[in-house]
Structure 1
Amino acid sequence: MPPRPPLTARRLRVAVELRKMRERAGMTATEAARALGSSQGQLSNVESARFGVSAERIRALASLYSCPDQTFVEALSELAADRMLGWWETYREVLPSGLLDLAELEHHATAIRTAYTSHMPGLLQTADHAREIFRHVIPEPTPPEVEHRVSHRVKRQGVLYGAHPTPYRTTVHEAALHMLVGGRNVARAQLQHLLDMSEEDHITLRVLPYDVGAFPGSGQSINYLYGPVSQLDTAQLDQFHGPVLLDAEALLDKYRHLLDIVEDIALSPAKSRDLIHAIAQNL
């Protein structure tokens, strides 16, 4: 028997959405399987992502469940049909799966939006800055493990380059700009990199200055990854134990609203660049 393909974030998302679709239709797995001429066990394997599912089967399930949103059904079908493994799979044996999931979601996102309070956005970190961050991971990584994480982070940043870069909006708190990660030279180079990247047309960078005081989500870093339709968006939160992915519609609405608020109270892109430049000049 050939080895089972890895459980990727997108494959798991297809399974989750099919289960939610069935539950909204008010059908049990046994009832749905019987209507399809299948077994409850087979359907359960699909809904748990143990088995893959074809685009044709997704359309059949959507018809059975009377799903009215054909745009969503087609987007989900395309998600299932795309089974190509990306560059991040080469790291599967050396990095936590959560980091691979994030890279996969970023690669396929139609747009990315983030907010950071205490550290630099991963997609805008220099290699030296990232290396210093990874040296302080618990448990303490070996030098090769640090380099694996650094190279993975740099490759993630490929979504911001090329002929069709992904639109990227990020808000960074001023506190992160003052941290001397790696010393003054590394910190200064990191701030210059922020300035350089903020000049790109597809990148919008805003800074939350100290004087905004308290604001929603002030203790949390947020990555919001837009899918082909809003139901397939994903919110990713950084936690001490690793990335956490959220896909419940109520939570997605909450984090979109939170990001709206944070962007509204942040400095304009031009004033943000001025502040970053002033901080770099004082290093």
Structure 2
Amino acid sequence: MPQPSPLPTARRRRLGTELRRLRERTDLSATQAAALVGATQSRISNIEAGRYGVSADRVRTLARHYDCTDGELVDALAAMTGERRRGWWEEYRDILSPRMLDLTEVEYHATALRVAHVINIPGLLQTPDHARALFAQTVPPLKPHEVEHRVSHRVKRQEVLHREQPPPYTATIHEAALRMRFGDRATTCGQLTHLVEMSELDHLTLLVVPFDAGPFHTSGQGFDYFHGPVPQLDTVQIDTDHGGELIDSPAQLERYRLVLDRMSAAALDPATSRGFIARLIKDL
């Protein structure tokens, strides 16, 4: 009998979470669900916790017993069982926190990305010098080699925007983040110039919310919204002082979609946003 995985991937845990949600909607216990498919209660519990893998056929069988008639959702869940090899981020397993690796995995598999940041430049758009200056401010302080590990990881994450079929990426950034200084003048100039250059990519939309746009709803926390193959599999990552938190409850996803829409509505259009950043560079 296979042993439960002590380090389930974020993708496997999410699959288990969705299977549990489907089961609970039918008011079936894990024991009852196990009996329907000829398994043990512990097997079902371990699948739902992401500690056991599950086949696509088993996913479809469980979905039928759970009266799930959403074919697109079932297909998406079945597709999540096919990942057999670990991603590139596993090389950082003993170096970075599990939360950072979970973020990377979710980001890698996203079909589209929308991010909103008020006081920081989004990670996928940071230059190495900006990231290095940012990590130098971490509390408690990082050692030089720890800073470099984080910078290299961040740079490698950015490859998602440059692969053969990159996901659509929309970044809404407040003027406060653009004016925040990390590093010297050259670092700031390089970072803003990089934003202008990235904004010219066909699959990337950069929107700036200027100070004079007035108030809009936000807690000040930056967050990333990762679209899944179906809306039920979307994920939000919020920045906190103790690290990123992944959120996937339907009610919270709806809330963050609304926040994104309101921030986008307060932002300048892409061309005007690009010109806005160009003027900031001239004023440095």
TM range (shorter): over 0.9
CA distance in 1, matches of 2:130, 2:179: 13
Question: What pairs up with 1:170-189 in 2 under 5 angstroms?
Answer: 170-189=171-190
CA-to-aligned-CA distance 1:106-136 (integer Å, 9 cap, x gap): 1111100000000101000000000011111
Query: How far does residue 181 in structure 1 lie from its aligned partner after superposition?
Result: 0.7
Return 50-59 or 186-195, whichever deviates more: 50-59
**What's the % identity of the aligned pairs?**
51
Question: What pairs up with 1:2-151 in 2 under 5 angstroms?
Answer: 4=5, 6-151=7-152
Is 2:278 aligned against 1:282?
Answer: no
Closer/same/farther in 2, CA of residues 162 and 47 from structure 1, 3 Å limit: closer
TM-score of the aligned structures, taking structure 1 as reference length: 0.97
Query: How far does residue 84 in structure 1 lie from its aligned partner after superposition?
Result: 2.1
Is 2:224 aligned against 1:231?
Answer: no
- Whether the 8 Å contact between 1:89 and 1:100 is mirrored in structure 2 is yes
SS where residue 53 of structure 2 aligns? Answer: coil
- Whether the 8 Å contact between 2:115 and 2:224 is mirrored in structure 1 is yes
Runs of 4 or more off by more than 6 Å in structure 1? Answer: none
CA distance in 2, matches of 1:111, 1:189: 26
CA distance in 2, matches of 1:280, 1:7: 45
The aligned amino acid for 1:9 is A
TM-score of the aligned structures, taking structure 2 as reference length: 0.97
Query: How far does residue 2 in structure 1 lie from its aligned partner after superposition?
Result: 7.9
Task: Report how many residues are paired.
Answer: 283
Query: How far does residue 225 in structure 1 lie from its aligned partner after superposition?
Result: 0.3
The aligned amino acid for 1:4 is S
Runs of at least 5 residues in structure 2 that lack an aligned partner in the other structure: none
Return 76-85 or 146-155, whichever deviates more: 76-85
SS where residue 239 of structure 2 aligns? Answer: strand
CA distance in 2, matches of 1:127, 1:224: 23
SS where residue 94 of structure 1 aligns? Answer: coil
Return 3-12 or 97-106, whichever deviates more: 3-12
CA distance in 1, matches of 2:161, 2:189: 21
CA distance in 2, matches of 1:152, 1:184: 24
The answer for the alignment partner of 1:210 in structure 2 is 211
SS where residue 152 of structure 1 aligns? Answer: helix
CA distance in 2, matches of 1:260, 1:14: 27
Closer/same/farther in 2, CA of residues 192 and 175 from structure 1, 3 Å limit: same
SS where residue 239 of structure 1 aligns? Answer: coil
